[in-house]
Amino acid sequence: MIKYFIYCRKSSEDDERQALSIEAQLRELRDFAKQNNLFIVREYTESQTAKEPGRPVFNEMLGEIEKGTAQGILAWNPDRLARNSIDGGRVIYLVDTQ
């Protein structure tokens, strides 16, 4: 059985530019997981911009993926995961290797 993490992020930047709150992202992703019988191991939430690498919650989650705690991530939009080349490269590498 494939195990998944849910990752929701809201930028710390201007609230008016935000597409969806963390709570709304969680609701949609929980519904998606339930409809598709996906096993969710843990939910991660973070309120920080992804323009720069170094988000602590994101890094913790990827560390858990590397340990094998889960094999996939559900995110509302790919830009919730990475908006910089370092984090994007880490995600791509994990997809390629695991």
Tell me what pLDDT residue 19 has. 65
Q: Are 33 and 70 in contact, with CB atoms under 8 Å apart?
A: no
Average pLDDT score over the chain: 91
Residue closest to 71 by CA, chosen among 44, 38, 34: 38
What's this model's pTM, rounded to 2 decimal places?
Answer: 0.88
Do β-strands 3-10 and 39-47 pair in parallel, antiparallel, or remain unpaired?
parallel
Q: What is the mean pLDDT of residues 64-68?
A: 95
Q: What is the mean pLDDT of residues 52-60?
A: 94
Query: If DSSP states are collapsed to H, E and C, what string results for 37-64?
Result: CCEEEEEEEEECCCCCCCCHHHHHHHHH
CA distance 48 to 46: 6
